[in-house]
Structure 1
Amino acid sequence: MAAQSCAASEPALAGLEDELTCSICLCLFSNPVTVPCGHNFCASCLELVWARSEQGFSCPQCRASFPGRPVLHKNTVLCRVVEQLQGGSAKAEEEAVGCGAAAGPVPCDSCLQAPAAKTCLTCMASFCLEHLRPHQDSPAFRDHQLCPPLQDLQQRKCGDHNKLLEFFCREHATCICSTCLLGHKLCHASPLQQAKEEAKLVLKKRLTELHNQSESTARAMTIVKTNQSQAAETASRKRDLIKAEFSEIKALIEEEENRILKIIVNEEKRICNKFDYIFGVLGNKKNEIQSIRDQTEMALTERDDILFLKRAAALQRTSTKDAFVPPIEMDQNLIHSAYQSAINIKDIVKLSVTQSREKKVEAKPPGKTKPPLAASLNRTISGKKPVGSQATHREKIHHETEATLQEEADTKDKKKPVKLAPNTGTPSEAASAVATKHVIDSFLKKSREELLQYAVKITLDYNTAYNKVVLSEKYTKMSVSEIPLNYSDHPQRFTYCSQVLGFQCFKRGIHYWEVELQQNNFCGIGICYGSMERQGPESRLGRNSSSWCIEWFNSKISAWHNDVEKCLPNTKATRIGVLLHCDGGFVIFLAVGQTHNLIYKYKTQFTEALYPAFWLFSSGTVLSICQLKP
């Protein structure tokens, strides 16, 4: 029954002890006080926490904050409950010892038969009631310390001196007896009870530190979670902005795609309408021929000679002509210009993406976060100024794009020495020059097959030919005659030197043609404005501001513009390619062969329509325009 009583009391005591434990020191309340939120703490523990807190006064358990230092009152009811619990615990311990004795009694060290009633810590022995009488009756044993019987009495003795362990050495962290003190003279030794109280204070202080560290860790975890949420929100917002930018880019590209396709569709309708008209005319002609044929067959069946001859005479006067189909061709310049617009957009997108990938990550002001691709596409596609707030937005992108291109140009220029001109111009001009250079480099890397997609058909203009220039092979071949030819006067005809222009003119788009050099090399190939002079020395190709050319004077090659000559390295190529980019503002002269070699390039802003131009110096010079298939 005693054992069952012990077992039943232990859970009740343990549950009550948990409720009466301070959440700071995790021990039973000592002088408990109550804070305004209703929680209880040891007075000393709460004073220590508030003394180290830098954030005002708050409850250590629920974190409730108080505007000022609360007035603390002792919880007398809780004090009595703790005292009763401590008394009950001592009684339960004694009962537990009794229960333990019943299970395994401690024998008396005197008779070794009767169970011990007490253990003397001074004598270091356990005694039954009979042998305990001297400790109770004799004054000599009055100072001996008695306690309930102990099973582990030998563990309280010093293993070296067989004496009771009465002191604690802090330096060696071990319990020692009075004899061991001689070997610990230099150590700080104190009685066991005093050492226990000191250790309790140290552990309580450590517990407070751990509590503060736990709170600090909890605050750090809260900060990390907050920063994580902010980072996720920022990333989501940036994703939405990027999606909006790419949606704008896609809309611009789709708009330009529809415009270009509409050009092709309209040209197709125009040609198809012409074919439909010619087809209708040919159908009427066929019906007319069939009618005459039927009348002829009926006339052959006429037996009356007079009627037959009348019909025959009438039929013989009726004339018919062979079916004629006029040449109808699509406007190749329009088709190629539309196709080139798509190529330009592709090149801009590819260039922007490549530059973005290759560019090093650098710190930039917050205002320059806008990508330049949409603005570049907008300038290339529309060529018009938007309206309303959209116009302001796109103009802002335009300025940011120019600044970005300038930064990229400066970054790349640092990699290799560049000789700058005295006047570098505005950032917009510098950005435009960098963009033009990238476009030129991209064309120089293209193969001849890729350049042929820009091929145009060039024929020579009879009205511009000098009176000694002979045009042949359907106005695609030119040479010089020794005697003047009977050309009629025309305001566009050259009168000073043996020159001729192409019939086609180009104001927009990209165009490519090739010229074959035959026999000797006394000639010039270039481009010019239609407003170039036709008379006097200023009408010579390259000797004015309206023309650009390359000249061959035997083995010497020169580039001429605005009457300024620049000598070039010699090349043995007999076929010369000319690539004109009207929108990009440059013309390239290439030596056509297995690989394209650059002879020279001009970069400028063309302000008028451009014409192919040719100059033949001597009578033995022959130039032929190659017929290219795009």
Structure 2
Amino acid sequence: MSAASCLLTEDQFLCSICLDVFTDPVTIPCGHNFCKTCITQHWDINVPCQCPNCKTTFYTRPELRVNAFISEMAAQFRQSAQQKASSSSSEQQVSKPGEVPCDVCTGTKLKALKSCLVCLASYCETHLEPHLTAKQLKRHQLIDPVENLEDRMCTKHDKLLELFCKTDQMCVCMLCSILDHKTHDVVPLKKEYEEKKAELGKRDTKIQQMIQKRRLKIEEMKRSVELSKKDADREIAAGVQVFSALKASVERSQAELIDTIKEKQRETEKQAEGFIKELEQEISELEKRSFEVEQLSQSEDHLHLLQIFPSLNAAPPPTKDWTGVSVRPPSYEGTVVRAVNQLEETLSKQMKKAELKRVQQYAVDVTLDPDTAQHKLILSDYGKQVKHGDVKKKLPNNPERFDTCTCVLAKQSFSSGRFYYEVQVKEKTDWDLGVARESINRKGQIKLSPQNGYWTIWLRNENEYKALADTRVCLSLKCRPEKVGVFVDYEEGLVSFYDVDAAALIYSFTGCCFTQKLYRYFGPYLHDRGKNSAPLIISPVNHTE
């Protein structure tokens, strides 16, 4: 029997009325089997008696007797199912808080695998089996387990909410769509679900894009903070170095001031000591003569007094007139002021050197671009020097080339950050230096000004220096620079020019608004019959000590 039962399926021992394994199975005349209680209750309700499966009608109610063979087989399947359920229960997960429990399990509730929208119940793996095997139950709609299945029923008609009214934006049942929403735009729940899901997908894509943008912004800010920290550390190190040098200068000036004052005091003391010594010597001599005079005046020897008196009167002790002699305290007026002024000058030089050193750390390599050079300019082989020549070269008149103005741009461009470079202008009587934006006009006569995209200074006639702002500014320089440093802070909108040897600021363009690439600009100006034949030379940066 056991071997035979293994060849049969559980479907063959399920009552088609209760959909469970037969209990007291009976066979009716048409050959179909049912639980005795199930078929009895069915015939009590439905008259005349019909077979629930094949609809055969029996005008006389058949006598029901238990089928012993099917009863035995059903008992074996029930026992096997219980063992399987027991084994399965041990393997399946027990329902945890927040998880949907099986509605059929008694005692320990197992985790539900599916919920049935027809039965309005949730089932674990074991109790879900009939829905996966029985023909009638296979038509039921299964979904992932959810709680409160009664909420999926229409409270008014007690029917499944399987439609969606787009007009009222609510879920409705079949009767609702006929009675209350007859003229409304009603679609299957699944269709609206797919549309909403697609809409959510688009919304999620947009949200993910927003998240990505913000993550990129976070990375950008982190990079900015990191760069800021590096700049801060660099500035702190430079500041510590500067203030250490300033502190040393102050201490040195203080020591020199103290030494000067002490030296004056020592000279005063030395002078006073000499006078005092001399006075003490005169006092000693006078005291000696006083003693002699006193001794002689007490003598009773008339002859002796008269004989000695002429010698005492003829040779008085050596003395000088001290009336106009005095020791005057030295005047310290102006000593501290002069020391402070000297210190200020030293500090000013230190500050200038510190400022130049600060910008020199942004030094970059610069090479001249021959494709931009005016046709009379002569460039060195390595692109580090440029001067004006007398011979017009045959060069292609490309859009990048200056055709009239004697100038040339560098190959490298910048659109962010800071950069610095130095140019030797020694022995030149005329020159232009600075930066220019990418879109500048390069043809014909050009007026150098920020409005036209140039931030430059120039020298004319050996000693006329000007900053070529929109309104030109005359520059008064203490000495003629031999090397000019150019510093640009793109984000700050700053262009500064320095006399490198004097470590002095020449001029700064501030508040500039840069929106394009910037190129370094060089103008050696005209040859002027050899007077201005020296080249502009891009020099390596030797950091100021």
TM-score bin, normalised by smaller chain: 0.3 to 0.5
Q: TM-score, normalised by structure 2?
A: 0.35
Q: TM-score, normalised by structure 1?
A: 0.30
Name the structure where helix makes up a greater proportion of residues: 1
